[in-house]
Structure 1
Amino acid sequence: MSRPSLPPPELRAFLEELVRRTSAVCGDRLLSVLAVGSLALGDYRHGRSDVDVTVVVDPAPPRADLAPLAATLAHPALPCPAAGLELVVYAADFAARPSGEAGYLLDLNTGPSLPERVSYDPADASDFWYVIDRSVAHQAGLPLYGAPAREVIAAPDRPTVLAALRASVREHADGDGHLADNRVLNGCRATVHCRTGHWFAKRRAGEIVAASEPAFESLVAEALRSFERPRAEAAVLPAGDVREFLRWVAARVEEAAEGAGV
């Protein structure tokens, strides 16, 4: 799957308005707006995927200025055509250095299929989500406004990313709040990153693991078929098989972490 040069047509008007509203609130502080996640990796699935956006500002605005930003971007004030919008705002001085912390100024989850969440305190969140997102952003962030990703987002080092993957696999092994197909395909993405040091879209990572691991080929193929459907129509995968697969993934992450001295 090739990296996109433009967002999908069904998202362009939404993203243009998101940038306009973000610029109107942040003014001269706005340094960059980047599409990350599935949009950046070329595998956005309309009706299934979230829109992941990273905003970088310089200097950091006071919290009182961030609340209007969250309000103007929240669904339905800005109707989200995707399953949801996950938007994170970072100060430029934080984003420019490698870190294992969440470190955000604002974390907004909103949209038709996402529980509403607005946080201004990174202590409220698990660091690993943000480490992985910044690593993906550095590799593949799609500029919507301003400076390109590699000029504003530092790549976390490999031990930090592997520690984040370890925490991510634990989170998905618990299964709470996660669709089974997404748990499996996130496990595939973690495995392929451990092997290659490169981020692949979930479906491509699933294809790679299915081709190389006959013991899990059937489960991953079922997860890939399910991932083609809207979230509400996702398949129920065999719980024992999912747990066994994620134990295998955890072992692959541990091997890579040991090799990196984590």
Structure 2
Amino acid sequence: MTDILADPHLLPAELRPYLDALVRRARTVCGRHLTSVFAVGSVALADYRHGRSDVDVVIVVAPSLPAQALRELAESLAHSSLPCPAAGLELVVYNSDFIAAPSSAAGYLMDLNTGPLLPNRVSFDPADSSAFWYVIDRSIAHETGRLLFGTPVRQVVAAPSRRDVHAALLASVREHAGGEGHLGDNRVLNGCRAVAFCRTGRWLAKREAAQMIAKSEEHFAPLIDTALRSFEHPRTAALALPTTDVRAFLAWVGDRVEEAATRTPC
């Protein structure tokens, strides 16, 4: 079978057959309406950890895609139809007109979560979801998105404004501070990545960001080191982190994001 993926050698070996099948199914369902398919998240940041990481994928389609095709695509890519080898698949479909302009909205046509460790969920209404996740993913996509098929990422995706990214990061910190539905290590490592972005203006992999923050903030280093050790385990074997320490760390992260936001031109 001929490779369909762009630069398959740059992808984790465990994911290549799956991503190849995902792109083929997207092409079959979307046909000429398919513009691009690319990876974001840990795959884009070269920090994918098999057994722990999700696969984050964005599909961009022409506005002329029939609405029924979205439902067909969700059925075709569901874990029951195409088993996901990672912890889960988080896939978002955007209209090419929407994603070509900066936006603070969720703005998706379809949001699909599926996989062995993710609850199956599909939404066709962006009002169902908190917008900040999508703003962050589009920012990562513009900077580091890894093309799987179609038109190059930066020709398709506009970078959200820095102000919108800071607002999204602050909303993310508040979400993680609540703790519900999030592993302790991921709450800490996402917090590290938020501060690293505010300091550098670049998206770093979670582990790289954590090492940066642990080095500069010695009083948080024990907590961050524990989060890093936990991140080496599968999700089902994650270490428990002290709730009080995690909340104190995230409060500090929130303050750093707010400070960065005040320095950002409107």
> Normalising TM by the smaller chain, what interval?
over 0.9
Residues 41-60 of structure 1: CA distance to partner in whole angstroms, max 9, x if unpaired? 00000000000000001124
AA aligned to 1:165 is: L
Q: Aligned partners of 2:10 and 2:151: how far apart in 1?
A: 16
Indicate conservation of the 8 Å contact 1:60/1:92, yes or no.
no
1:176 and 2:180 are equivalent in the alignment: yes
**Per-residue deviation, 1:148:** 1.2
1:46 and 2:50 are equivalent in the alignment: yes
Q: Aligned partners of 1:7 and 1:53: how far apart in 2?
A: 13
Instruction: List runs of 5+ in structure 1 lacking aligned partners.
Output: none
AA aligned to 1:254 is: E
Aligned to 2:219: 215
Residues 147-167 of structure 1: CA distance to partner in whole angstroms, max 9, x if unpaired? 111110100010000000010
Query: Which residue, 65, 76, 90 being the options, matches 2:94?
Result: 90
Range with bigger deviation, 15-24 or 58-67: 58-67
Aligned length: 259
Aligned to 2:231: 227
Residues 36-78 of structure 1: CA distance to partner in whole angstroms, max 9, x if unpaired? 1000000000000000000001124232111000000000200
Query: Which residue, 203, 210, 214 being the options, matches 1:206?
Result: 210
Aligned to 1:27: 31
Q: Aligned partners of 2:64 and 2:223: how far apart in 1?
A: 45
Aligned to 1:17: 21
Indicate conservation of the 8 Å contact 1:162/1:257, yes or no.
yes
**Per-residue deviation, 1:204:** 0.6
Aligned to 2:245: 241
Q: Match of 1:10, SS?
A: coil
Q: Aligned partners of 1:195 and 1:36: how far apart in 2?
A: 21
Q: Aligned partners of 2:32 and 2:127: how far apart in 1?
A: 28
Q: Match of 1:9, SS?
A: coil
The two structures have a TM-score, normalised by structure 1, of 0.97
1:37 and 2:33 are equivalent in the alignment: no
Query: Which residue, 145, 166, 171 being the options, matches 1:141?
Result: 145
1:63 and 2:67 are equivalent in the alignment: yes
Residues 85-121 of structure 1: CA distance to partner in whole angstroms, max 9, x if unpaired? 0000001000100000000001000000001110000
Residues 127-147 of structure 1: CA distance to partner in whole angstroms, max 9, x if unpaired? 000000000000001111011
Q: Match of 2:199, SS?
A: helix
Identity score, percent: 64
Q: Aligned partners of 2:260 and 2:190: how far apart in 1?
A: 16
**Per-residue deviation, 1:6:** 1.5
Q: Match of 1:47, SS?
A: coil
Aligned to 1:160: 164
Q: Aligned partners of 1:198 and 1:173: how far apart in 2?
A: 23
Indicate conservation of the 8 Å contact 1:5/1:142, yes or no.
no
Aligned to 1:102: 106
Q: Match of 2:105, SS?
A: coil
1:113 and 2:90 are equivalent in the alignment: no
Q: Match of 1:42, SS?
A: coil
Q: Aligned partners of 1:247 and 1:80: how far apart in 2?
A: 35
Q: Aligned partners of 1:175 and 1:65: how far apart in 2?
A: 36
Indicate conservation of the 8 Å contact 1:89/1:107, yes or no.
yes
Aligned to 1:151: 155
Instruction: List runs of 5+ in structure 2 lacking aligned partners.
Output: 1-7
Coordinate RMSD, CA, aligned: 1.1
Change (3 A) 1:160 1:203: same
